[in-house]
Structure formats: C-alpha cells, structure tokens
Structure 1
C-alpha cells in the first residue's frame, strides 16, 4: 500500500494546507520553549474521547482502532502539550482510516470542550487554553468524521515486469484477480487483488510469479482511483529434490513414504502446505517447516527444504474414572514415541479397577502393552498389537485372563474406516462356584462411519450420524469346543435445535443412540460368560449397574448374560454460559437368551447430569435411577468421566 498511501497523503496535504501544518508545528515549538523558560510545570490533563458514528459500522470500527486519543485515554494522564501532540497526530491517523475505505475527500474535525467553551484541535492556543481547565475537570474531546464521496476504481492496468511479455490473464486468473472499474476503492480490496492474483499464478505452477505493490493515482474530478500492478509470471515449474534437516531419530525413508508430494510433480503451494500439515499431524515433531529459494535448480525445478524439530519421545499420563456400579479405576500410562524411527508408538498402561463398585466383588487390574505402527503397507493403514492381562471380580463372574491381539485399521475415506485382525485369549472364569478354563480364538471385523465432522471423539457432536458395526467369529477350544459369532451394531445421531430457530448453534442438542446385538451358533451356556451379551451401565442403560439388565440366576444378583440385546438412549444437552452444561436423559434396554432381539423384560432408567467444558473435552457427571428395577437391583447410579456418553 506504500504507493497508494503516498498518493493519497499528497492529496490530503494539498487539501489541508502543508504550510498551515508547518506553521502550527513551529508555533508549538516556540510555545514549549517559552513555557519551559518561565519554569512553569504543566499539570496532567485528563480527558474523555467520543467518536461520532458515520453510519458505516466497518468505517466506525476502523476509526476507533486508529485513534490514539481513544486507545490511550485510560493510561496515565499527560500534560496539555503532550495531549495537543496526541490530538494533532490523530488527524493523520483518522484521515488514513477514511482513505483506506475509499473516502479520499473526507475530513476530520476534533473539538475540545470544558463546559460551554470549545476549541478546535488545530488552534495554536490549545495548550494554553487547556492549562486553564480547573483541576479535576476532564476535557471532552469529540471527533467528527465526514467521509464525503467514496471513490471507485477507475482504470486497472497490468504492467509486465522488465523483459516480460504483455500480461494476459486466463479466465481463472481474472476471476481470482477480481479488480475492475467501478468497485469501491478500498485499500484492502486493491491490495488483496494483487495478493490473490499472485496466489493464483503460483497455484498454476509459476513458482517465481510476483505481483508488485500497486501504484495508485487519485482522480478527484471523477472521484476515481487508477491502479497499476506490475506482474512477473515466470516459467511453469516442477518440484525438484527434497532436503530434510533436523531428523535425529526419524528415518528419512518414512518421511518420503508419508509425503503426499514428490519430485517431478507440478509446483503448487497449497499441496506443499497440505503435505507439511500432514507430516506435522503425525505427532513426531514439535515443528515442521518447508521453504524454497528464489532461484531454480540448474534443471529448471524448484527444490524444497524441509526442516524438522523432533518432539519428546517419552510421556507419562494418568487415567481415571468412576461409576457406582464398576467403582473407581485409576492408573498410569507411559508412552515411547517413534520407537524404531518410523513413527511407531509403544504404550504401557497399568490400572487398578473395581474400587468400591456395586457390580464388583473386589479389586481387579488391567495391564496392557500397545504397539501401534502407522502407515502399515500404505498411508491409509495402521497396525496395532496388544498383550493384556486382566483380572476382574464381577458379581456375575470372576475372570483372570491373558490375551493377545493384532489388527489392521484401514481409513477408507474421511468418514469411513474398517478394521480386521485376530485375537487369542486364555482365561479362567468362576461363575456360581464353577471354575472353567477357556482358550478362545476370534477374528474381529468392524466398520465405522462418522458423519459428525468432529475430529476428536471427545469433542461433543452437534449434528450428523455415527455408525459402528462389528462381527466376531469365535471358537472356544477348551472344556468342549463351541463355535459362535458375535454381531453388534450401534447408531447415534445428533440434532441441533438451531435448525428450528430455538437456540444458537451448538447450545441445545438432541442426541439419540440405538444398540442391537446378537450371538449365533451356540446356546447361552455353551458360550464363555465374558463373551455373552449384557446391558446396564453408561454404555447401554444408565440407572442399572453393569450387567444389571437381563436374566439373572434365581435369588441372586448374578447376571447370566444372553444371546440377544437391544438398548436405546435419548439425551437433551443444553450449554449454560461458556463452560457449563446440563443434560437430561432416558435409557431403555433388554437382554434375552432366545437369539431374538426385542424380546425380554425392558428396563428403563432416567436421569440428569452436569457438564464442565474444558479444552480437552467435557467433564461428565450423571446420576440415574431405575424406573422398574429388578429384585436386588441398585436404587441409583452415579457416573463420572471425560467426554459425552455417546
């Protein structure tokens, strides 16, 4: 905008009179010397500034942002001489604000008043007059902006750089440029057009393209502004060699494989930036930068220089949660990032479970080691492996198990992913005084769809649908071989009441969840207890303890489990102020051993909850009561966790 401002300010000086400004400055200088010579100290002068509205909200905002008088009035009061200098400085600042919106014939008036008397801001006697304002009085400063006629764009010229051919824009380039006669002569539009044209040229492969700062000429007679842009297009360029700096533990081959760009492809800044962001999203680096020079390589390509700052390799975290049925769980995790130099992550977790739960008979544990290998086979696949040791003393059964599993997750597109793998489990289960050992082999398969547009699963969804479905063929090979297949699907959807005009976006949301499951191939008691279907708890029907919905052994609180399960939930979520929220909900579900969904005794629970929203997600506290609890069922349940229930 340099040339533009120079042209505009030249007109402003001609309009206001450069000689008057110079005389004013000289007068102020000699008055200051006179005051100093008399040994008189100037007391600070407090003031209040008012900017009268122009009727243009954007222009008014620019005037407020440009005024030193307004922004500095709450600081320590200054002497009349310093305040006079501040007033004089505001003239040029406010004129620049008018001109930036195309008002090159505008005017600024600043009046200073105390009671009935008023002085113009350009009055040479202003400091002496303000010195006479009684102590404790605030000077009333009123700024009036008269915009006048808004100038429009006159002629638009594209001037070739030295030695370049005449500039001719194609259809896409002209649309991106957008500058044409008749548009308001706003500075942001004039400058933005050149920047947008340069971006369009570089996106077409003109890596050395440059559009200079526009020159502008005011035409007061026609209230227009003529502008000229110097354009250098240069040659179409392909990407050259890539250089990697700062890699200490990460293998360059992994970066090459991960990158979404390659040497020989067309130079496009947007694709380069997306590639940089993709590498940064791996979590390996605290900073990723990509740069290139102003000259081409001898072969005519544009080399890229990547610089990396690797992040911390080790991290420690804590995990915890509480519900009255499963009790408390607490533990620690230790992670080793970039284990073998290809973004692998090893995570070790140790948890103590069953701390005081009504569905638990004592303390248990959950120890596991997770290894995750991203980009396994392709950029869209991750491999994960787990070894886990579990002990849980539920009222329904007591389990001690060791399991190992390996799986592949493939991201089909932005919304869909599928996974498949294998798992083996050796376990000892005690149920109703019977001890049984099981060796289970299973092949879990799943598919998930997320149309909520939420990247972080802890962030509450406000619209869209989520679908999850899995099928797990399994074989129990100990104490009698049995084959069975577990099938389960969950659908949740969200509706923002803003669509009905009842709330602001994201403030009032209705949430629905439905779950159905079935086990085929074996009867209930031919299936290991931990593989049967259960309901109750935060994942299905709140108000009932975990495994508290469904068939039970006579005269006990021990759940049998079933071969068919269905459950549904409804929530009303209301944000309150900025960080708080409230939830009301109703859940219902049933479990049966008949292999037929929607058959059995329906259990219903209702409740309410509170939310506290943090940067990492909402802290959840829900209380629920059963409406038709079974014998020996709990009267209420409390759930505490991070993130919404679904």
Structure 2
C-alpha cells in the first residue's frame, strides 16, 4: 500500500535519499575505521498498552530479534539503531498510527552515560564502551493519535469511474469511512473483493494495490482502490492431462463442474478436492486455461499425477486383553480403471491376551467401487475367514458382506447392505453351527472436518445409528430365531481454545456415548457372537473384552447380553511438538433384558501418552478397574495408532 503525503511522492524521495546517505556514511565508516570486536547489548522495548501494536513492534525490531544471534561491531550496531527508527515507524503506521514518535536511548551502566540513538557520534560512543560490557538499549514508542479512514473509493483503471458492484461484493470489500486505518485491514479488503468478483463469474477481475493519501490535519487516510471487474464468464472447455491408467470417461463423469456453468472458484476447487479423495491420484491441479475470455467463457485445465497402483502395508496393535494383532495388507488401486480398490489383508490375532485362549486369524479381501450405478454412491464388498478363541467361545466363520454407501444430506451418509455368515462355535466342549443372514442399515453423521480416521478430531460431532435385522438358522434341526440388533454411538470434541484457555488444537475434551439393544429374541436364542459385550478400548477400558456383563458364575466365561450402554470422557493435552498425554474415565454395563441401563455398572479410569507422527498419533494407554469384576484384570494396556475415538 503506497502512502502519499499531500498527494506527492516527497516521502518516498526522502526515504530514498536517506538510504543513499546511509550507504555513503557506511562506506566512509568501513573504509576509515578498523572494525571493533562484536558489541553485546540488551534491548528493552517499553509496552504501549496495546497488544496488537506491541506484537507488531516486536516483530519489526531488528534490535530485539538479532541481539542474541547476530552480534556486530560498534559501527554496524549504530547502523542497526538508525534503521530501527524506520522499522518501528513502519510498524506504527501499519496499525494506524501515522504521527507516532520513536525514542531510542543507549546506556553504559559502568560509565553511567546515556546516548541518544539519533546522535551522529553514536558509533564513536559505542566504541568507548569497556570490553565485556553490554550496552543497555531502551526503546520507547509514543504512538500518537489513531488515524481513521477518510474517503474510500473504488475506480476502474481504464475509465476512472466507480465500478458497478453487487451487494455481496460491496459487503465483501467491507471498508468504510471512519474505521481505523490499519494497513492489514485495508489490504485484506482488496483480497476479499477480488475473491467476491471471481466468485460472481468475473474470472479476469483485477484488484490492484491501493493508493493511500495521508491527511495529517484531519488525522485521516484516504484510500483509492483500482479495480478492473472484467466480464462475467461461464466455464468453457475442460481439458484433462496426465491420465494414464485412469479412464478419462470416469473422471469426466465424476467432475462436479461442467461446461456452460457460471465460473466460480469455490466450486472449481471443490471439484478438484473431490477428485483427490478417489485415492488414485497423488496430485490434482486446476488452472484457468487462458489469460483472456474465449467466446465468453474461461477454459479450465485439470492436470493429474497418478499415484502408485500397488502398495504394501503392515498392521500392528496390542492390548493386554486381546493380545497382539499383527499382519500385512496388499492394495491394488485403480483395479479396472475407474478408481476401484482391492485390498487383501492377513492377520494373526490373540497373541497373549487375557480374553483369549489361543492364536486366531483374520483373513479378508475388500473391494471398493466408487460411483456404483450412480454418482456419489459407493459399493463395498468383503469376503472374510475368521477364527477367534475367546474365553467365552471359540469361533470359526466365513462371512460375505456387501453394501452401498451414499450421502443423504450435508455431513450425513447412509449405508444399506446384505450379509451372510456361516460359523461354527464351540462353547463348553459343545459345538454348534449357525447360518446367519442379515440386512444392516446405518446412518453416519460427521461434521468434524477430519477426512483421515486416524487424525484426531478437535471439534464437532460424530454419530452413527445401526439397525440390523437378522435371521439365525441352527444346524441339525436347531432353533431358528429372528432378532434385530440396534445400537447408536456418538462422540463430540470440545477445544478449550474456544474458552480462551489454550492454543487451537492443544487441549481437547472428548466425550463418547454408546447404547444398544437386541429386540425379538432372548439371550439364549441368539448365537453367542451376535450378543452384546463390553470391556476394552471400544467401551470400558480397564476391563478385558467381554469382561463387563453377565458371567457364568465366578469364571472368565461371559454370557453376553441383549442391551448395552457405555460412556467415556477423555482429556487430551498436546505437549511440545510431537508428544501429548491423556486422562480418561469410562463406565458401562451389559444387561440380560432388551432395555439398556440394566446390569452391573463397571467403571474404569486411566491415562496415557501420545507420540504424534505424520500419519497420526501412536497411542499408549493404561487403565485400571475401579470396581473390579470377579476374576477380572487388575489393569490393562492398550497400544495402537490413532485415538480411541
């Protein structure tokens, strides 16, 4: 922002002359005098009583920022002091104080002599300071009166007349007569106006840097903004570049902007970001295809850089109740050319857990197809082989699942699917086989703004509601039962920054609640793996998985139930750059009736540490039961990637 005094360039000419004179003096000093040893000093900047101004002054001060790292000799220090006047005056003016005064005094405590920073003998005086003695530099600023904006004009560069702006564009500009003449606010107004013009279709709009005219008599600053709105344009031809394995027809169908629509940067950027979520591109960029209008339109050029088609990963987790879980995944991205994904996973489970009787496995293949049948509708399918050796039962199962997920409203997604499971369960040396058919239906809400599930949320709400009608067929004339599993989970996150207590994202309270019920059948008519259990990181930490709820006498064998409720509160504090801590309390119960809030309430508490990596926090938590169940664990350890919820 150029500032003119009495509509002339005298000020800039004077500044140029001062710089030239300073250069000449500096050359004379360096040629005529031998450089002295570096002169240490300590700077004290007196506060003005205005926090934003004090911040600007500290940021602008070379005396402060360089005193510990850039020690210089007497003549260089004198030059630094002289330059400080202009730097601090610039800071004053940026905050609206155009008539302020800067005072700099230097003092040698042993000599008891004070020197004004503007003195021509400053360098010689500094040279007389005894060796190993620091110079005390005191900087005081008299800010003077606050200037306000006088006239504020927008003019077209070519015609010199005011451009025609819509109410939205005028509101975005936001500058008005009488507001404080703060440079950042004046410059930000131009950026907002440019964004508003382009959002209204003015793809070629230009908003130049403002001219500012200082009026000392009235303590005002007049502002003139040169503006070139340009014509309103629609989106023209859309070109794609860089596609190799991904089909162009799929990309064009996926695009959320189309030729002939109004040119709007927000919608164009949203389309770019949407393409990046497909997981097959390492980079997607978009730019205007021309520097001038083409038949009343603005062409767009989308450029793509495809990511690696194959990737290998490892999975590792540990808790004292479920033991270690270790395995590997192999992923094929863009399987058929339309961003399909096939992921193969093989895991060994139950390595030394208090809720386990031995080793198990979990092997599955996941298939994902975006835009299945229609836009924004995704297909998910899985085939899975599973063996789990819990204390409560031993299970070997083959599962088939498939479903579609689609957005329902802002922040809402819905899922409907079908599933079939063939399993064999051994319990108390008795084996039974079950065939289970189900049709899960769910709705998910998430306004946390966190796309990566491993990245911790700091605000907002996550919630899910699940209803799963199920039919269980027993083998060899066994009983047939029909039941519906219903559960809901919600979590919310409160950043203490909103209360003015901490910096953003550093201090978080997280809350979670879960409730569930099984309708249509009693506990004994439901296969053991379909019943409700609690304990562990998903519900009540400090109790092993299946350690909360009805048990067979005083044993480790859980019966399971037909209702569940649990709640958690957790405080997360980030420390330094890469470390953090957490403290939490959980409570929950499992009942043998279909109504929640029945059973024996169990409470656990604990804490942990976090190490933040680029892909998410590594979590280590320790929890203890506050009212331990018979034969329950005395404590539990949980290690994993990402927060618990």
Instruction: Sort the TM-score into its range (normalised by shorter chain).
Output: 0.7 to 0.9
1:248 is matched with 244
| TM-score, normalization by structure 1 | 0.87
Matches within 5 A, 1:19-34: 26=24, 29-34=27-32
Please say which of residues 621-630 and 247-256 is displaced more in the overlay.
621-630
Is the 8 Å Cα contact of residues 52 and 144 (structure 1) preserved in structure 2? yes
For the structure 1 residues 558 and 154, does the alpha-carbon distance in structure 2 shift closer, same or farther, using more than 3 Å as the test? closer
Choose the corresponding residue for 1:382, options 378, 382, 389: 378
Choose the corresponding residue for 1:398, options 357, 378, 394: 394
The Cα offsets for residues 201-237 of structure 1, whole Å up to 9 and x where unpaired, read as: 2211111121222223223333332222222222111
Choose the corresponding residue for 2:299, options 300, 303, 307: 303
Distance 1:559 1:27 in 2: 89
Choose the corresponding residue for 1:65, options 56, 59, 62: 59
Distance 2:122 2:320 in 1: 76
For the structure 1 residues 224 and 317, does the alpha-carbon distance in structure 2 shift closer, same or farther, using more than 3 Å as the test? same
SS of residue matched to 1:412: strand
Distance 1:502 1:102 in 2: 27
For the structure 1 residues 21 and 454, does the alpha-carbon distance in structure 2 shift closer, same or farther, using more than 3 Å as the test? closer
Is the 8 Å Cα contact of residues 460 and 643 (structure 1) preserved in structure 2? no
Is the 8 Å Cα contact of residues 622 and 640 (structure 1) preserved in structure 2? no
Matched, 1:419 2:415: yes
1:232 is matched with 228
The Cα offsets for residues 291-328 of structure 1, whole Å up to 9 and x where unpaired, read as: 11553454210001112222333333222223333222
Matched, 1:219 2:215: yes
Matched, 1:569 2:563: no
Distance 2:26 2:597 in 1: 94
Choose the corresponding residue for 1:132, options 122, 128, 133: 128
2:471 is matched with 474
The Cα offsets for residues 100-129 of structure 1, whole Å up to 9 and x where unpaired, read as: 233333333333332322333333332222
| TM-score, normalization by structure 2 | 0.87
Matched, 1:433 2:432: no
Distance 2:597 2:68 in 1: 72
For the structure 1 residues 5 and 365, does the alpha-carbon distance in structure 2 shift closer, same or farther, using more than 3 Å as the test? farther
2:518 is matched with 518
Deviation of 1:643 after TM superposition, in Å, equals 4.3
1:607 is matched with 605
Deviation of 1:482 after TM superposition, in Å, equals 2.0
Distance 1:59 1:494 in 2: 37
The Cα offsets for residues 45-65 of structure 1, whole Å up to 9 and x where unpaired, read as: 222223333333222222222
Distance 2:413 2:255 in 1: 21
Distance 1:537 1:376 in 2: 36
Choose the corresponding residue for 1:341, options 337, 344, 347: 337
The Cα offsets for residues 417-445 of structure 1, whole Å up to 9 and x where unpaired, read as: 22111222233333333333333332222
Deviation of 1:68 after TM superposition, in Å, equals 2.2
Point out the structure with max Rg over C-alpha: 1
Distance 1:378 1:93 in 2: 60
1:10 is matched with 10
Matches within 5 A, 1:85-164: 85-115=79-109, 116-162=112-158
SS of residue matched to 2:102: strand
Matched, 1:489 2:483: no
Deviation of 1:496 after TM superposition, in Å, equals 5.0
Distance 1:293 1:2 in 2: 33
Distance 2:555 2:336 in 1: 52
Deviation of 1:384 after TM superposition, in Å, equals 0.8
Distance 1:239 1:451 in 2: 30
* Count of equivalent residues: 635
The Cα offsets for residues 619-638 of structure 1, whole Å up to 9 and x where unpaired, read as: 142323373634x5555544
Is the 8 Å Cα contact of residues 290 and 305 (structure 1) preserved in structure 2? yes
Choose the corresponding residue for 1:50, options 40, 44, 52: 44
Please say which of residues 458-467 and 266-275 is displaced more in the overlay.
458-467
Distance 2:9 2:90 in 1: 8
Is the 8 Å Cα contact of residues 550 and 558 (structure 2) preserved in structure 1? yes
For the structure 1 residues 342 and 165, does the alpha-carbon distance in structure 2 shift closer, same or farther, using more than 3 Å as the test? farther
For the structure 1 residues 158 and 629, does the alpha-carbon distance in structure 2 shift closer, same or farther, using more than 3 Å as the test? closer
Is the 8 Å Cα contact of residues 568 and 588 (structure 1) preserved in structure 2? yes
Deviation of 1:368 after TM superposition, in Å, equals 0.8
For the structure 1 residues 220 and 346, does the alpha-carbon distance in structure 2 shift closer, same or farther, using more than 3 Å as the test? same
For the structure 1 residues 43 and 6, does the alpha-carbon distance in structure 2 shift closer, same or farther, using more than 3 Å as the test? farther
Matched, 1:546 2:542: no
Structure 1 unaligned regions, length at least 5: none
SS of residue matched to 1:312: coil
2:621 is matched with 621
Structure 2 unaligned regions, length at least 5: none
SS of residue matched to 1:375: coil
Is the 8 Å Cα contact of residues 219 and 225 (structure 1) preserved in structure 2? yes
Is the 8 Å Cα contact of residues 620 and 644 (structure 1) preserved in structure 2? no
The Cα offsets for residues 554-595 of structure 1, whole Å up to 9 and x where unpaired, read as: 786444445x22233343536375644343424332343xx6
Is the 8 Å Cα contact of residues 284 and 304 (structure 2) preserved in structure 1? yes
1:284 is matched with 280
SS of residue matched to 1:277: helix
Is the 8 Å Cα contact of residues 436 and 479 (structure 1) preserved in structure 2? no
Is the 8 Å Cα contact of residues 458 and 494 (structure 2) preserved in structure 1? no
Is the 8 Å Cα contact of residues 519 and 594 (structure 2) preserved in structure 1? no
For the structure 1 residues 13 and 63, does the alpha-carbon distance in structure 2 shift closer, same or farther, using more than 3 Å as the test? farther
For the structure 1 residues 93 and 466, does the alpha-carbon distance in structure 2 shift closer, same or farther, using more than 3 Å as the test? same
For the structure 1 residues 644 and 48, does the alpha-carbon distance in structure 2 shift closer, same or farther, using more than 3 Å as the test? closer
1:82 is matched with 76
Deviation of 1:134 after TM superposition, in Å, equals 1.4
For the structure 1 residues 471 and 6, does the alpha-carbon distance in structure 2 shift closer, same or farther, using more than 3 Å as the test? farther
Please say which of residues 492-501 and 253-262 is displaced more in the overlay.
492-501
Please say which of residues 79-88 and 477-486 is displaced more in the overlay.
477-486
Matched, 1:372 2:368: yes
SS of residue matched to 2:75: helix
